[in-house]
């Protein structure tokens, strides 16, 4: 049995949360893939690349959880993503999942009070 490294565990945890974080971000306001990448990097203090984020955006869009709209910015076209009704529903389910008792576990894990 191979041992999992600390970095592997952190990476796997963030990979599992990435889709939920993206849904949450675009529920706040429409965002470009570039801004989503920067914001996830800021929030997690871990480097995320477009090669990591864009496949997740395409997957979420294909499944109908987000929608993209192209806009013209000077000579550039930028796609802004926003959450759909289906995305809001799944985000609500994720929020409920993080309610008690999982919330208590996470708060204890993070050293806070439940």
Question: Could you read off the pLDDT of 29-66 as tens digits, one per residue?
Answer: 999 999 999 999 999 888 888 999 999 999 999 999 99
Q: What confidence score (pLDDT) does residue 14 get?
A: 83
Per the prediction, the chain carries an average pLDDT of 89
The per-residue pLDDT for 1 is: 56
Annotate 5-21 with three-state secondary structure.
CHHHHHHHHHHHHHHHH
Average pLDDT over residues 16-31: 95
66-73/76-83 β-pairing: antiparallel
CA atoms within 13 A on the CB side of 98: 10
- Portion of the chain with pLDDT greater than 70, in percent: 95
Q: List, in order of start, the domains of the chain with CATH numbers.
A: 6-84 (1.10.10.10)
Does pLDDT of 79 surpass 70?
yes
Model pLDDT, residue 114: 47
């Amino acid at each position: 049995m191979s041992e999992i490294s600390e970095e592997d565990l952190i990476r796997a945890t963030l990979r599992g949360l990435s889709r939920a974080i993206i849904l949450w971000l675009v529920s706040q306001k429409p965002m470009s893939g570039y801004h989503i990448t920067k914001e996830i990097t800021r929030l997690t203090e871990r480097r995320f690349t477009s090669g990591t984020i864009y496949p997740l955006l395409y997957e979420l869009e294909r499944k109908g959880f987000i929608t993209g709209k192209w806009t013209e910015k000077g000579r550039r076209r930028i796609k802004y993503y926003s959450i759909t009704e289906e995305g809001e529903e799944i985000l609500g389910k994720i929020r409920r999942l993080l309610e008690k008792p999982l919330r208590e576990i996470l708060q204890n894990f993070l050293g806070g009070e439940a």
